[in-house]
Structure 1
Amino acid sequence: MKNKLYLFLILLAAATAQAQEPVVVSAWKEVFKGPVSPDKRDQWLADLKSWRERQRTQIKYNDILYANPKLQWVKHTFIDVQMMAHDRYFYDPVTRKYTVTKYLNDLKKRYGGIDAVLIWPTYPNIGVDNRNQYDLTANMPGGKAAVKQMIKDFKANGVRVFFPIMIWDHGTQRIKQTMPEALVKEMKDLGADGLNGDTMSGVSDDFYGFAKSENYPLAFQPELSLKDLKMIEWNTLSWGYFWGYEHDPGISIYKWFEPKHQVNITNRWATNKTDDLQYAFFNGIGYNTWENVWAIWNQIPERDAESIRRISAIYHQFPDVWSNADWEPYIKTEQKGVFASKFPDANKTIYTLVNRDSTDANGTQITLPYIAGQKYWDLWNGKEIVPQISGSNAALNFKIEGYGFGAVLVANGTAKPATLTAFLTKMAVMSKRGLKTYSASWEPATQQMLPIAKTKLAVKQPAGMLRIPAVKGYNFESVGVMIEGNELPPAVGVQHSWESHPARSQKHSMDIASFYIDQYPVTNKQFKTFLTATGYQPTDSHNFLKDWFKGIYAEGEAELPVTWVSLADARAYAKWAGKRLPHEWEWQYAAQGTDGRVYPWGNDNNKANYPPADTARAMRKPTAVNAYPQGASPFGVIDLIGNIWQWTDEYHDEHSRTAILKGSSYYHAQTSGWYFPPALELTKYGKYLLMAPSIDRARTIGFRCVADAQ
């Protein structure tokens, strides 16, 4: 009886020990907490391994996709980037060429380059009219043929290409196929490599099913945490998002569950990337170098860029070791604040180390079992380590900078291969300069407004225009309706001349000289007159006057505002007419007067004063410009809100061009809050990203002109 009781207690104790669940931290539940103390590490690791086996058994995990030869590149996608298709380093609207080499050379120069690119032509512009996510990809300059070649150019440079899934895009133009079928077939046709699931908690298995039926192995990468671990089977990549960094680094749950799964840490608004990079290196996972965030340039500081360069070099020198199933975090270290992980394979082992403290760590960093014939190399500093042997232990001495990194290679003592010699030489050159000598400071990219030349001063009132009197101390207040981007300065907005950085809202007292403004937006009839007189034809003509047929608008639509015109088209018309486009504040003053009213007629939203909203996916055409005279401003300006967006100022920095749209439009896409928002109030504006006329033109965007007055 005593023996049975004794055996029962032993089994109970063992079961209790094995039942310990790893502690999950971070808002997105993607990170395990480390051991509570060094002496608890072995039990903690045992719990992690036990958890992994239980979960795999429970969901009947199948890793067949990770064995697919056509997807082996996934585990080598160490550095990727989300890139706005509107980035000026990526496309030149003057030469009408994709500048892939220019784009990649910039990244290579600053932080060593990338393995994959996520090209983003959709949000935040989607919803300005009813073009869906497929239309916007098709509307990229040059059309399908140019996009295919652009993808080939990336792949020729060893860079894989992703496009996004706008899973919420159910309010724009309908498609005949389901979204998974349409997107998979589109990616196959274009030759792209993967799909990123915007707002998706795991790309659903119907996408994987269609890729399988098309015999086209796409890689899937959701934005958010997976709904369940089963989805790791076909979501071969993921983002590490908002991990809530602690001093002791956490363990990537997905990396631990499936070491061949590639996680790329993503923290777009952070201006200091040290936490991101240390957590990545500790886990042997990748990083997303997202800098162009909805046309705000959040450049990686020099120090972090240099860290990425060195981490990437180590990753690529030993590309397969990081996905080894036997990796172990929290290897015992000798210095306070230094943490290490172990990545073994058949004939070598690499240890990654991070110093989470601000002070340098000197002396012995790690003590390993001594095996005769083994050699040790300090990969971060590019030199061999002579160990201090004490009995059965080998102590490895080297320095790790405050908030820095370290890496050790342990291998047998056979002749050092030439590739390793060359690599160590390269790392030795890089490490001559410590990370602390690189600037960690961050400053917002400066934006400038594109100058608008004054017109010839009008001596008398031009036909169809109204005189707006000069004003002293006009209180210009405006706020952007952009969906996100308030986290940091600069916000997702624009930088006026009186501001130190881009901002969402503006408030400024200013003097405005007298000018004339078109009483109505430019109509189809007026634009046709311009075409007849000048023979104007844009070099990039895709979508130009898309609602016209054979160069003429439909019968009965002469007084509709002209749309499907780019900024360049509008400026060409204005120049021919002896006019110009208005500044944002001129447009607003002409619409508002001096009493700060919210709408042209006052402060109440009287829906009888502007066209009704169109929420249908098919989308009607705009309304005649003279249909709502009761919506006039204090100066008599008509059709200011609720019919079409109207071009005003353009802003640019080194990487982006954007336009300020005023007046809002009649089209309001439904089913999602991610579509381009309306801005009916005069004190609001929309920020529209510019790439090329082909994609910039929209059914809901037109313009009106101004002329300077004596």
Structure 2
Amino acid sequence: MDEMRGWRTNRQIRMGYSGDMYDLPALKWTQSSFIQPQMMMEDRYFYDPDSGKYTVDRYLDDTEKRYGGIDSVLIWHTYTNIGIDDRNQYDLIRDMPGGIPAVKQMVSDFHRRGVKVFFPVMVWDQGTRDEEKPNWTATAEMMKEIGADGVNGDTMDGIPKAFSDAALKINHPLALEPEAFPGHDEMLAWNTMSWGYWTYPYAPDVSRSKWLEPRAMVNVSARWSHSKTEYLQAAFFNGVGFESWENVWGIWNGITPRDGEAIRRMATMERGLAPFLVSKDWQPYYTTESRGLFASYWPLNSEAVWTLVNRSDYVMQGELLRVKSAPAGSKFFDVYHGVELTPRMDGQDALLSFTVEPNGYGAILQVPGALSAAQQTLLTKMRSITQKPLESYSAEWNFIPQTLVEIPTTKATSQALEGMTKIPAATYRFRVNGIEIEGRDDVGVDFQYPWEPSPRRYHDHIVNIDTFWMDTNLVTNEQFKKFIDATHYKPKDAKNFLRDWKGDTYPVSWADKPVTWVSLEDARAYAKWAGKRLPHEWEWQYAAQGTDDRKYPWGNTWSAEAVPVVDKGRRLTSPDAVGAHPKGASSFGIQDLVGNVWQWTDEYEDDHTRAAVLRGGSYYQPGGSIWYFPQAYRNDEHGKFLLMAPSEDRSGAVGFRCATDAQ
């Protein structure tokens, strides 16, 4: 321990370290923000598109029921959808349902429940619309406007001091939480929080940032793991928190009942013992009386706490902890079980007998006399929630199934409607894969077709397709205006609806360009009015591919002449007129299947996420980052676009075409 303390002193001197930010009253809460989920804004527990309301209470009630609640929440509003068009990370907050006023109220709803709110900052977002001010200024101003408490630095191993300075300058201090840390120890002075991506050996590692600054909060992250035991034990040993991340880019990696109960118990103890867990005299690897039981010692004035983790698969019981030179009159309590312990004295040492469950947790509290009211409340609560052993809760992990949202059939016709092409019946081998950047081929990634037992990235199935009619061209602005004029259609959520139009009409010379800035709901409304429907994805792909398994609608070799010129600027221009690239037609004569605008097809949903299958890619490709929504130009690729609300879902690079059923 002397060597570890000496190293810490040496590093702090070399860093020129100051802990002033940790003394700032506005940021004291970070030192007890133990449980924080990253939550996708598209999560169905967070927002209800039918009522047009944020459902913060529903979201928080669910976390409390399953794992004891949260201290802060990171609302993820950008990746995976950012880059579908030129809206930047700040625009996507502005486009959240209800705009800034509703977002501000949503943040207040979290505060009402005692939960702090984070949003991410993407310093890599330099290919979309220029905000025309530095990231740190734009971030600080936006967080102040909506009342948020902190920012998470996506892909960052330390958030630059400029972000802290910008927030302080406008009198709105922000908790800075890089995704990983430390990239540079010096950044610990203003990064009061971070995530933890650690290794998990038998003897738990000591957090570098927590050792350098005991008041620093780490939330250990385990986004893809189905079992959280390793991560939770490492967090408890270090007196830090956990990133209870379940909705991973629209893929539900749910916490098991056993892990949920472990989080509840761990977090309850940490919240109740929070003042101890920032002790500058923290001593990891306090000697225990049993191999495989690891302890950290947290002295505070005349009291002390030990946090313990059992790294073995069997129960530990008996005399497990020796308190050396225990002060006379000390009382000891098994916090985990909520009971007082009677020590056996061995000279000046107190030997404590208690039980720690297999792969379980324990905490010992030492006080010089009577318990405080808060300590007594903690023991009472722990005694109540630990009546059942952890091993009685299921550790089995399961994916959640998806269902295809029905597309009602149309009146079957034997004659083509104007502008439609007949696609003959076929027994078609439908092979397609998702282009998601993350997730590998884990169960839950991408979609679950009606014939599949689970969601997965790669799909291969023989589909019997009946004869149908497909729009030869994408629906144009002129055609959509006829629908508006005939029906006076006004969406309930109208933000961004036909955003390129001026007043009630499209720009001059845009009549034959594909209509964009229409949501999936808007497209369905048009199709119903026209006596049509949106195509199923496999119909769309068959119309593009035929039966010869070609890579692109026109053949197996990419042709720049078959598609619009790619736009890599920071502002959207406009799609090309429909039919402007006849060399891109499929074997059936369908135009603009690839490279002009993305096209709405099917929608899938599960308990937490709605997502649309987008086909064909678009002309717009913001540059400078691998994290923007990727293109899917090949016939055997599709995009998964997470859905929240029409205001957010509409895009200047997404349009649609229709289909009808044939006799």
TM tier relative to shorter chain: over 0.9
Query: Which residue of the other structure, out of 200, 211, 215, is the alignment partner of 2:171?
Result: 215
The SS at the match of 1:74 is helix
Aligned pairs for 1:587-598 (under 5 A) are 587-598=540-551
The SS at the match of 1:79 is coil
Q: CA deviation at 1:448?
A: 0.9
Which one has a bigger Cα radius of gyration?
A: 1
Which position in structure 2 is the counterpart of 1:488?
442
**RMSD between superposed Cα atoms in Å:** 1.0
The SS at the match of 2:59 is helix
Which position in structure 1 is the counterpart of 2:414?
459
The answer to whether the aligner puts 1:322 opposite 2:294 as a matched pair is no
Look up the equivalent residue of 2:234 and give its one-letter code. Y
Aligned residues of 2:182 and 2:209 also touching (Cα < 8 A): no
Which position in structure 2 is the counterpart of 1:5?
none
Aligned pairs for 1:536-547 (under 5 A) are 536-547=489-500
CA distance in 2: counterparts of 1:359 and 1:501, whole angstroms: 35
The answer to whether the aligner puts 1:692 opposite 2:653 as a matched pair is no
Query: Which residue of the other structure, out of 390, 395, 399, is the alignment partner of 1:444?
Result: 399
CA distance in 2: counterparts of 1:511 and 1:526, whole angstroms: 31
CA distance in 2: counterparts of 1:651 and 1:698, whole angstroms: 19
Aligned residues of 1:622 and 1:666 also touching (Cα < 8 A): yes
Q: CA deviation at 1:427?
A: 1.2
CA distance in 2: counterparts of 1:615 and 1:274, whole angstroms: 45
CA distance in 2: counterparts of 1:645 and 1:216, whole angstroms: 40
The answer to whether the aligner puts 1:617 opposite 2:570 as a matched pair is yes
**Which moves more between the two structures, 693-702 or 223-232?**
223-232
Q: CA deviation at 1:205?
A: 1.3
Look up the equivalent residue of 2:216 and give its one-letter code. H
The answer to whether the aligner puts 1:665 opposite 2:618 as a matched pair is yes
The SS at the match of 1:398 is strand
Aligned pairs for 1:190-269 (under 5 A) are 190-241=146-197, 243-269=198-224
Deviations 1:26-76 (A, max 9, x none): xxxxxxxxxxxxxxxxxxx12211110000111110111011111100101
The SS at the match of 1:600 is coil
Which position in structure 2 is the counterpart of 1:585?
538
Aligned pairs for 1:166-565 (under 5 A) are 166-241=122-197, 243-369=198-324, 370-414=326-370, 416-472=371-427, 474-486=428-440, 488-491=442-445, 493-565=446-518
Q: CA deviation at 1:619?
A: 2.1
The SS at the match of 1:648 is strand
CA distance in 1: counterparts of 2:661 and 2:395, whole angstroms: 47
Which position in structure 2 is the counterpart of 1:53?
9
Q: CA deviation at 1:333?
A: 0.7
The SS at the match of 1:423 is helix
Which position in structure 2 is the counterpart of 1:14?
none
Q: CA deviation at 1:665?
A: 0.1
Q: 1:487 to 1:346 in 2, by over 3 A?
A: farther
**Which moves more between the two structures, 316-325 or 165-174?**
316-325
The SS at the match of 1:263 is strand
Q: CA deviation at 1:421?
A: 2.9
CA distance in 1: counterparts of 2:577 and 2:89, whole angstroms: 29
CA distance in 2: counterparts of 1:681 and 1:459, whole angstroms: 31
Q: 1:629 to 1:125 in 2, by over 3 A?
A: same
CA distance in 1: counterparts of 2:76 and 2:638, whole angstroms: 23
Look up the equivalent residue of 2:431 and give its one-letter code. E
**Which moves more between the two structures, 422-431 or 632-641?**
422-431
The SS at the match of 1:408 is strand
Look up the equivalent residue of 2:274 and give its one-letter code. P
Look up the equivalent residue of 2:162 and give its one-letter code. D
Deviations 1:493-550 (A, max 9, x none): 1111222221112111111111111001111011000111111100000000000000
Query: Which residue of the other structure, out of 123, 134, 156, is the alignment partner of 2:79?
Result: 123
Q: CA deviation at 1:363?
A: 1.0
CA distance in 1: counterparts of 2:504 and 2:302, whole angstroms: 71
Aligned residues of 1:269 and 1:487 also touching (Cα < 8 A): no
Aligned residues of 2:335 and 2:365 also touching (Cα < 8 A): yes
Deviations 1:378-425 (A, max 9, x none): 1111111111122222111111111111111111123x3343333222
The answer to whether the aligner puts 1:631 opposite 2:587 as a matched pair is no
Aligned residues of 2:441 and 2:458 also touching (Cα < 8 A): no
CA distance in 2: counterparts of 1:293 and 1:551, whole angstroms: 40
Aligned residues of 2:246 and 2:253 also touching (Cα < 8 A): yes
Which position in structure 2 is the counterpart of 1:709?
662
Q: 1:533 to 1:458 in 2, by over 3 A?
A: same
The SS at the match of 2:90 is helix
The SS at the match of 2:145 is helix
Deviations 1:163-193 (A, max 9, x none): 1111100000112211111111111111111
CA distance in 2: counterparts of 1:682 and 1:576, whole angstroms: 29
Look up the equivalent residue of 2:433 and give its one-letter code. V
The SS at the match of 1:351 is strand
CA distance in 2: counterparts of 1:700 and 1:161, whole angstroms: 31
Which position in structure 2 is the counterpart of 1:575?
528
The SS at the match of 1:102 is helix
Deviations 1:472-496 (A, max 9, x none): 2x111111111111163223x1111
Unmatched 5+ residue regions in structure 1? 1-44
Aligned residues of 2:412 and 2:662 also touching (Cα < 8 A): yes
Which position in structure 1 is the counterpart of 2:37?
81
CA distance in 2: counterparts of 1:283 and 1:267, whole angstroms: 16
CA distance in 2: counterparts of 1:334 and 1:284, whole angstroms: 21
The SS at the match of 1:322 is helix
Which position in structure 2 is the counterpart of 1:136?
92
> How many residues were matched structurally?
662
Scaled by the length of structure 1, what TM-score is found? 0.92
CA distance in 2: counterparts of 1:663 and 1:207, whole angstroms: 39
The SS at the match of 1:641 is coil
CA distance in 1: counterparts of 2:453 and 2:354, whole angstroms: 44
Look up the equivalent residue of 2:582 and give its one-letter code. P
Percent of matched pairs sharing the same residue: 48
Look up the equivalent residue of 2:534 and give its one-letter code. L
Aligned residues of 2:308 and 2:363 also touching (Cα < 8 A): yes
Deviations 1:535-566 (A, max 9, x none): 11000000000000001001111100000000
The SS at the match of 2:316 is coil
CA distance in 2: counterparts of 1:62 and 1:393, whole angstroms: 38
Look up the equivalent residue of 2:513 and give its one-letter code. L
The SS at the match of 1:270 is coil
CA distance in 2: counterparts of 1:201 and 1:277, whole angstroms: 22
The SS at the match of 1:309 is helix
Q: CA deviation at 1:227?
A: 2.1
Look up the equivalent residue of 2:310 and give its one-letter code. N
Scaled by the length of structure 2, what TM-score is found? 0.99
The SS at the match of 1:500 is coil
Aligned residues of 1:133 and 1:169 also touching (Cα < 8 A): yes
